[in-house]
Amino acid sequence: MKTAVVTGSARGIGSAIAKALEGTGYTVVYSDVLDELEGVAHYHKCDISVEADRLALAAFVVEKFGRIDLLVNNAGVALKTRMDILETMPESFERLMRINLEGTFFMCQTFANAMIKQGGEGCRIVNIASMSSYASSVNRGEYCVSKAGVSMVTKLFAHRLADDGIGVFEVRPGIILTDMTVPVKEKYEQMIADGVTPIRRFGTPEDVANCVLAVAEGYLDFSTGQVINADGGYHLRRF
């Protein structure tokens, strides 16, 4: 039985990923900042921006299941208030870097070391980034910078871990209908109708989960460092 850890899995994209992995036979450890999560077999609280939490999560999985086969770094936060980059506050910038970027980097480090210790070969890490990794949005610049950083984290760990047989991948969701996008749903609906994405519909958490499944099932093992766009074709450069 293979074991997967999915951070930020209490709802939305993370929950869909965790459920999809369970459907393929993985034992899944759900993880989030909640004290507990009802309705799941295995849960461990973890704030990925806190070193002690990261170490405790990895130790829990190894102790309980004997190994870690897949880490999905999905946990992250959006801005509390969107502001023009000429007005962005250091507190907001530091919060997003600490959680989205630093947290993801050190989750990769912590779990990569655990994977290497158990043998490494066949293990995988998936980082959930965003189309904001490359698309400029000047009223939420700190989010864009944090996700651009996640893209480099993926490249770095894919490079470093290749000799250990550990694949590292990045999934970039586009406009996905979740609790986080509900406040701007009407705006996005109009953008989609106007053709901002070639596929004219919202993405779903399941669309993102399917990309993770391709990695989890080993279909991309010769493609470490690969970016998988779950964005309805937004990444295409079009006239």
Q: Enumerate the active-site residues.
A: 143
- The sign of the CA dihedral 82, 85, 87, 88 is positive
Residue with tokens 């989609």: 192
DSSP codes, the chain: --EEEEET-SSHHHHHHHHHHHHTT-EEEEEESSS--TT-S-EEE--TT-HHHHHHHHHHHHHHHS---EEEE------SS---TTT--HHHHHHHIIIIIIIHHHHHHHHHHHHHHHT-TT-EEEEE--GGGTS--TTSHHHHHHHHHHHHHHHHHHHHHGGGT-EEEEEEE-SB-STTTGGGHHHHHHHHHTTSSSS-S-B-HHHHHHHHHHHHTTTTTT-TT-EEEESTTTTS---
- The sign of the CA dihedral 183, 188, 190, 191 is positive
